[in-house]
Chain A
Amino acid sequence: MPHSENIILHAQGITKTIDTGTHRVEILRGIDLSIPAGQFVAIMGASGSGKSTLLGLIAGLDSPTSGRVMIDGVDITGLNEDKLALLRGCKIGFVFQSYQLIPTLTAEENVLLPHELAGGAVAAGLTRARALLRSVGLEDRLDHYPVQLSGGEQQRVALARAFMGKPPILMADEPTGNLDSVNGAHVLDLLISLNEREGTTLILVTHDRVLTSRADRIVTLSDGKVVSDEMQTTVADAAGGESRV
């Protein structure tokens, strides 16, 4: 385990309970998780195990019923929506199962958006946005709107967008879940290679064991609890480790 000063994300005693009115559902029952900078962590678990909820909580997309979340040394538990948004803008990139592109914006504009929201200069942003789109193989799709793109292409735009703000952490929630195996593998390759190039901490939520084969560490959830947390010593891991040195 890396030293504590390298911990980029720290979750402590997180619980999440939803009161539906008729009954209470305990989704997470006390999760402790520390992720050092640069690690590729896969969060696994069956459907309903609470993995997506956990991802939402550590990204500040939702607030826990109890427990604390620290991102890069900042305790986000007490922050308001706007402060969380600003924090996400500079610390976290997202890739969702269903792409979540803004339908009114072109591919290029979608990628540029986090940069513009953070108040960055357009010219500099455009160069990077185009470079990112080129690296996901969409240089000829800059002016296309999301509806004009296939699912795989949309997810590649989403990937480019996620890396746009050079976030230290990238969170991906079943990024290949909506894609066929060929497109899924392509997106995963891109995700991992971009991650290596940008030196980002990658947190990947999935139920697909194939995706986790290249992760440094696999955290498995079941019924709202961490049931296993193990480091992988695979070739892929070794390669990932080298690139971070």
Chain B
Amino acid sequence: MNLSWRTASRIAWRETRASTAKFLFVVLAVAAGVGALTGVRGFSQSFRATLTAQSRTIMAADLTARQFLPAAPEQIANLDQLVASGVEHTLIMETVSMGSSAMVPIDSEAATPALMSIKAVDPAQYPYYGTVRLNPPMALKDALENDTVAVASDVLIRLDVKVGDKLHIGRQTMRIAATVVSEPDRMSGTLNVGLRVMMSREAFERTGLMGFGSRGAYRYLFKLAPTAPPVADVRKSIKNALPDSLVADFRESNPIITRGLDRASTFLSMVSLIAMIIGALGVAMAMHAHLQQKMDNIAVIKSLGGTSRDVMGIYTVQTLMLGLLGGVAGVAVGRAIEAIFPILISHYFPMSIQSRWNVDAAAQGIAVGVLTTLLFTLPPLLAIRKVQPALILRRGMPEAKLPWRKRLVETRAALAIAALILAAIGGIASWLAESPRVGGYFVAGLAVSLVLLSLVASFLLQGLKIVLKNFPVRIPVLARQGLANLYRQGNQAQAIMVALGLGVMFTLSVYLVQHSLVAEIVETAPPGMPNVFLIGITPELVEPIQALIANTKGVEGTPEFAPSVAIRITKVNGTPFEQLPTPESGRRFRSGRSVMFADAKPDSIGIVSGAWWKQGETQPVVSVDEEAAQRLRLRTADRIEIEGAGKTVNALVVAIHRVEQMRVGSANEFVFNSAALIGFPATFYGGVRMKSADVGAFERAAYKQFPAVTVINVVEALAILQQVVDQVAVAIRFLSLFAILAGAVILAASVAGTRFRRVREVVILKTLGATRRHAGRIFSVEFLTLGAVSGLLGALLASVFSGLVLNQLLEASYSFDWKVTLLAVALTALLAQASGWLASFRILRQKPMEVLREE
């Protein structure tokens, strides 16, 4: 290069200064893209932080370790060592026991004991996250003294006692200090089958309930200080300290929520990638149009002695300047988005934004802005080499057709550039998504779509030309002119069609994916799921209880009843359980399990592999939960032997399932066919959805009629879970809406970018006697055709792309929706029409002379 960078910069700057308006458009396109990218990423990071905070709440800790034996002193010593590195811990003991009212004589009918689910905590430490809400409102440590308890309102109803009364629990008489309105980890605890009674560990010791041989669980909660090692490391340390325990961290507080979170995260990174591509499309369109207009200038510079390298240097500097400007502006926009989004969705849930300025995110945004601008400007930049100085002498002349050898070289060069751009985008995508796999899928989708769109667009345009030329009837001039505009030389119809199609593909994919995703996420905690559970229903009580529910006020939806059978797994594929090489976590299957039977597949589970059995299957078959199957290393066609009530059954594993909906208390780890469990004594779990206010009355009525059945009210606990699910859904919907809007704006801009070439045409038409209506009709035909065709191509590609994303990345299902496809076609046509009009109506009003004078 002869020019110094300094000189190139100076010339580039002069040129930028000269046509501020056009450059503003490019800068805005970059800013929109970068803004969408950084905004979406910032928001989703904040959102993820909010969600993980909630996941911690659901667990009341960062990590938990659960085991069925007390930790040995040396194990506790190991845990205490962790404290130094910023890992606090507290112990929760849980057990079930019978409790009764101390307010009535012990032998009276009112003293009938009820099954209690006792939870002993250190109120000074517990809970690490979230709060235990009590009524009357008070601090947990004030409510839990050595001789007091806090109980669920169920207990008051069941035992006919009130706050201040006393209960017999174990060897102790305890005063009820308050009722528990909600506890954060209600859905994460163990042994939740009874009525909640919460007490301090000291009080618990005094009850003597946790004696030798009694059934109880020890749950250690851990809290990480900011200085603590990463969760994964702490997890390992805990596992080493407590080898017999089941360790879980906040990321898996609830498997269903975890899956929702994972999918949401993948989806959110996808949305930000798409935001980037859509922004880049805008940049590409703007820069392409810009350089196209600069061809004359380039020819002039070349004729004055500038080499191709000089010119490329000038325009590369200019591109970098624009990219940088757009990037900086975009980061500011993104920052604003990050701040505004939480306000917009505050109606649905409160979200704290990261208040500190994130330098990394800003730098990333600017880098991505500059990189994409440069990448997408590469083809027109390299085309500078081909600009002949003679261009200024014979403008509008057709390009000479090169000999095939040269054309091949040109094509190869173009392909190499395309490959380079795609590879770079793949790199950026992998970087942003922090996953080469996602980046790979993304770029593959992009490449295939680009090729398909270009081919189809070029084919269609050629076809249109031939059809128009040979059409038997002369098409009215306005329609013909509108259609002819699409294939005219130097028109960017093909480029716009590709850009529009790509934009439609991505934005529609966002919609389709979010649609399926939200549907699945909402389905995990559907609005009508049971919030009151009935435990210990004997078969003969099922019908009377159903009758009671039918007559109860405030019931929503249909009550569900699921059988539960106590069994023990004795052999897997003929090998006795004790000799199985199961991992640590498989050991818990050694003790008895509650399993269920069903003939039709329950709605709450989905098949992962294998197939559900046919109605009337007489051989013993079983479907096993994914996680249990993994722990026991079970696959379909394996056999398990179970034992219970003196019977032994050998069942064939025909399916592996996954729990798709939250269900409390149901034993759906193993689902047998009814024939397999004939003769096993069964009890039933019942679940019913009720209005919160009516639960008390129902509990009283149920106790009166069926004293042996325990009713558990999980309205509050369920509300927390549902809230999380709703938040994920809202955030996904919200971001999708944003991505779709951003897409629409950029697409509109790409159509609007063709404005400059229209000006002259309108003027000529007007000089020849065309009214604004004439010109308007010509544009309408062009815009509508362009929009509809691009919309159709994009929508079809979107179906394929979302199908792939859902199946491969999100493990969710997808089905083609022709209504959405048609709607997309119509909307794209309208969008192209509207944006084309918006950009052109000023042109229509322009005085012809204003344009002609520029000659």
Whether B293 is near chain A, meaning CB under 8 Å from some CB there, is no
* Cα(A243)–Cα(B764), bound, Å: 31
B761-802 contact mask (Cβ, 8 Å, vs A): 1 or 0:
101111111111110000000000000000000000000000
Distance between B760 CB and nearest chain A CB, rounded to angstroms: 8
* Cα(A22)–Cα(B488), bound, Å: 40
Whether B396 is near chain A, meaning CB under 8 Å from some CB there, is yes
- Whether the Cβ atoms of A102 and B769 lie closer than 8 Å is no
* Cα(A146)–Cα(B852), bound, Å: 19
* Cα(A105)–Cα(B483), bound, Å: 11
Q: Please name all residues of chain B whose beta carbon is closer than 8 Å to the beta carbon of A53 when the two chains form the complex.
A: 849, 853
Distance between A161 CB and nearest chain B CB, rounded to angstroms: 7
**A96-B852 in contact given A104-B488, A145-B489, A148-B398 (Cβ < 8 Å):** yes
Q: Is the interface of B mostly helix, strand, loop or mixed?
A: helix
* Cα(A145)–Cα(B487), bound, Å: 12
- Whether the Cβ atoms of A56 and B489 lie closer than 8 Å is no
* Cα(A97)–Cα(B852), bound, Å: 10
* Cα(A61)–Cα(B767), bound, Å: 7
The residue on A at minimum CB distance from B764 is A100
- Whether the Cβ atoms of A103 and B489 lie closer than 8 Å is yes
Which one of A56, A103, A151 contacts B852 once the chains associate, using CB atoms below 8 Å? A56
- Whether the Cβ atoms of B396 and A146 lie closer than 8 Å is yes
Whether B847 is near chain A, meaning CB under 8 Å from some CB there, is yes
- Whether the Cβ atoms of A88 and B767 lie closer than 8 Å is yes
Q: Please name all residues of chain A whose beta carbon is closer than 8 Å to the beta carbon of B761 when the two chains form the complex.
A: 102
* Cα(A100)–Cα(B767), bound, Å: 10
- Whether the Cβ atoms of B853 and A56 lie closer than 8 Å is yes
Give residues 474-524 of B contacting A (CB, 8 Å). Answer: 474, 476-477, 480-481, 484-485, 487-491
Q: Please name all residues of chain A whose beta carbon is closer than 8 Å to the beta carbon of B480 when the two chains form the complex.
A: 109
- Whether the Cβ atoms of B769 and A165 lie closer than 8 Å is yes
Q: Please name all residues of chain B whose beta carbon is closer than 8 Å to the beta carbon of A165 when the two chains form the complex.
A: 769
- Whether the Cβ atoms of A56 and B768 lie closer than 8 Å is no
Whether B848 is near chain A, meaning CB under 8 Å from some CB there, is yes
Among B397, B764, B767, B852, the one with the most A-chain Cβ atoms within 10 Å of its Cβ is B767
* Cα(A96)–Cα(B480), bound, Å: 24
Q: Please name all residues of chain B whose beta carbon is closer than 8 Å to the beta carbon of A122 when the two chains form the complex.
A: 474
Which one of A61, A109, A147 contacts B849 once the chains associate, using CB atoms below 8 Å? A61
- Whether the Cβ atoms of A88 and B481 lie closer than 8 Å is no
The residue on B at minimum CB distance from A126 is B474
Give residues 134-185 of A contacting B (CB, 8 Å). Answer: 145-148, 151, 161, 165
Q: Please name all residues of chain A whose beta carbon is closer than 8 Å to the beta carbon of B767 when the two chains form the complex.
A: 59, 61, 88, 94, 100
* Cα(A53)–Cα(B476), bound, Å: 34
Which one of A59, A97, A116 contacts B855 once the chains associate, using CB atoms below 8 Å? A97
Whether A67 is near chain B, meaning CB under 8 Å from some CB there, is no
Which one of A62, A86, A97, A147 contacts B397 once the chains associate, using CB atoms below 8 Å? A147
Q: Please name all residues of chain A whose beta carbon is closer than 8 Å to the beta carbon of B394 when the two chains form the complex.
A: 151
Distance between B772 CB and nearest chain A CB, rounded to angstroms: 5
Which one of A88, A112, A118 contacts B766 once the chains associate, using CB atoms below 8 Å? A88
* Cα(A82)–Cα(B771), bound, Å: 5
**A105-B398 in contact given A61-B847, A63-B847, A100-B767 (Cβ < 8 Å):** no
- Whether the Cβ atoms of B768 and A113 lie closer than 8 Å is yes
- Whether the Cβ atoms of A114 and B488 lie closer than 8 Å is no
Q: Is the interface of A mostly helix, strand, loop or mixed?
A: helix
Among A52, A61, A98, the one with the most B-chain Cβ atoms within 10 Å of its Cβ is A61
B336-359 contact mask (Cβ, 8 Å, vs A): 1 or 0:
000000000000000000000000
Residues of chain B at interface, number, CB under 8 A: 39
- Whether the Cβ atoms of A114 and B769 lie closer than 8 Å is yes
The residue on B at minimum CB distance from A174 is B855
Q: Please name all residues of chain B whose beta carbon is closer than 8 Å to the beta carbon of A81 when the two chains form the complex.
A: 766, 771-772, 844-845, 847
Which one of A85, A97, A109, A112 contacts B772 once the chains associate, using CB atoms below 8 Å? A85
Whether A1 is near chain B, meaning CB under 8 Å from some CB there, is no
* Cα(A98)–Cα(B763), bound, Å: 13
Q: Please name all residues of chain B whose beta carbon is closer than 8 Å to the beta carbon of A103 when the two chains form the complex.
A: 396, 488-490
The residue on A at minimum CB distance from B766 is A85
The residue on A at minimum CB distance from B761 is A102
Which one of B491, B771, B855 contacts A98 once the chains associate, using CB atoms below 8 Å? B855
Give residues 86-128 of A contacting B (CB, 8 Å). Answer: 86-90, 94, 96-98, 100-105, 109, 112-114, 116-118, 122
Among B484, B768, B844, the one with the most A-chain Cβ atoms within 10 Å of its Cβ is B768
- Whether the Cβ atoms of B768 and A86 lie closer than 8 Å is no
Q: Please name all residues of chain B whose beta carbon is closer than 8 Å to the beta carbon of A85 when the two chains form the complex.
A: 766, 769-772, 774
- Whether the Cβ atoms of B771 and A88 lie closer than 8 Å is no
The residue on A at minimum CB distance from B772 is A82
- Whether the Cβ atoms of A62 and B396 lie closer than 8 Å is no
- Whether the Cβ atoms of A117 and B772 lie closer than 8 Å is no
Q: Please name all residues of chain B whose beta carbon is closer than 8 Å to the beta carbon of A62 when the two chains form the complex.
A: 847-850
Q: Please name all residues of chain B whose beta carbon is closer than 8 Å to the beta carbon of A151 when the two chains form the complex.
A: 394
The residue on B at minimum CB distance from A167 is B769
* Cα(A13)–Cα(B451), bound, Å: 62
Which one of A104, A109, A118, A148 contacts B769 once the chains associate, using CB atoms below 8 Å? A118
Q: Please name all residues of chain A whose beta carbon is closer than 8 Å to the beta carbon of B847 when the two chains form the complex.
A: 61-63, 81
B386-430 contact mask (Cβ, 8 Å, vs A): 1 or 0:
000000001011100000000000000000000000000000000
Q: Please name all residues of chain A whose beta carbon is closer than 8 Å to the beta carbon of B769 when the two chains form the complex.
A: 85-90, 114, 117-118, 165
Q: Please name all residues of chain A whose beta carbon is closer than 8 Å to the beta carbon of B396 when the two chains form the complex.
A: 103, 146-147
* Cα(A53)–Cα(B847), bound, Å: 12
The residue on A at minimum CB distance from B483 is A104
- Whether the Cβ atoms of A86 and B771 lie closer than 8 Å is yes
* Cα(A213)–Cα(B510), bound, Å: 70
Distance between B840 CB and nearest chain A CB, rounded to angstroms: 14
Q: Please name all residues of chain B whose beta carbon is closer than 8 Å to the beta carbon of A114 when the two chains form the complex.
A: 768-769
* Cα(A100)–Cα(B855), bound, Å: 11
Q: Please name all residues of chain A whose beta carbon is closer than 8 Å to the beta carbon of B488 when the two chains form the complex.
A: 103-104
Q: Please name all residues of chain A whose beta carbon is closer than 8 Å to the beta carbon of B491 when the two chains form the complex.
A: 104
- Whether the Cβ atoms of A147 and B852 lie closer than 8 Å is no
- Whether the Cβ atoms of A94 and B768 lie closer than 8 Å is yes
Q: Please name all residues of chain A whose beta carbon is closer than 8 Å to the beta carbon of B490 when the two chains form the complex.
A: 103, 147
Distance between A166 CB and nearest chain B CB, rounded to angstroms: 12
Q: Please name all residues of chain B whose beta carbon is closer than 8 Å to the beta carbon of A145 when the two chains form the complex.
A: 489
Q: Please name all residues of chain B whose beta carbon is closer than 8 Å to the beta carbon of A105 when the two chains form the complex.
A: 481, 484
* Cα(A105)–Cα(B480), bound, Å: 9
Q: Please name all residues of chain B whose beta carbon is closer than 8 Å to the beta carbon of A97 when the two chains form the complex.
A: 855
Give residues 35-90 of A contacting B (CB, 8 Å). Answer: 52-53, 56-57, 59, 61-63, 81-82, 84-90
Distance between B366 CB and nearest chain A CB, rounded to angstroms: 34
Q: Please name all residues of chain A whose beta carbon is closer than 8 Å to the beta carbon of B489 when the two chains form the complex.
A: 103, 145, 147
- Whether the Cβ atoms of B768 and A117 lie closer than 8 Å is yes
- Whether the Cβ atoms of A117 and B853 lie closer than 8 Å is no
- Whether the Cβ atoms of A102 and B766 lie closer than 8 Å is no
Distance between B779 CB and nearest chain A CB, rounded to angstroms: 13
Q: Please name all residues of chain A whose beta carbon is closer than 8 Å to the beta carbon of B774 when the two chains form the complex.
A: 85, 117
Distance between A198 CB and nearest chain B CB, rounded to angstroms: 17
Distance between A20 CB and nearest chain B CB, rounded to angstroms: 13
**A104-B848 in contact given A85-B771, A86-B769, A114-B769 (Cβ < 8 Å):** no
* Cα(A106)–Cα(B244), bound, Å: 85
- Whether the Cβ atoms of B765 and A102 lie closer than 8 Å is yes
Q: Please name all residues of chain A whose beta carbon is closer than 8 Å to the beta carbon of B484 when the two chains form the complex.
A: 104-105
Distance between B135 CB and nearest chain A CB, rounded to angstroms: 72
The residue on A at minimum CB distance from B770 is A117
- Whether the Cβ atoms of B852 and A117 lie closer than 8 Å is no
Top 3 closest pairs, chain A to chain B, by CB: A89-B769, A62-B849, A104-B488
Additional 7 contacts, C-beta under 8 A, given A102-B765, A118-B769: A57-B849, A59-B767, A86-B769, A88-B767, A100-B760, A102-B481, A103-B490
25 cross-chain CB contacts under 8 A: A52-B852, A59-B767, A61-B847, A62-B849, A82-B771, A84-B766, A85-B766, A85-B771, A86-B771, A89-B768, A89-B769, A90-B769, A94-B767, A101-B764, A102-B764, A103-B490, A104-B485, A104-B491, A105-B481, A105-B484, A112-B477, A113-B477, A113-B765, A116-B476, A148-B398
Q: Could you tell me which A residues sit within 8 Å of B by CB distance?
A: 52-53, 56-57, 59, 61-63, 81-82, 84-90, 94, 96-98, 100-105, 109, 112-114, 116-118, 122, 145-148, 151, 161, 165
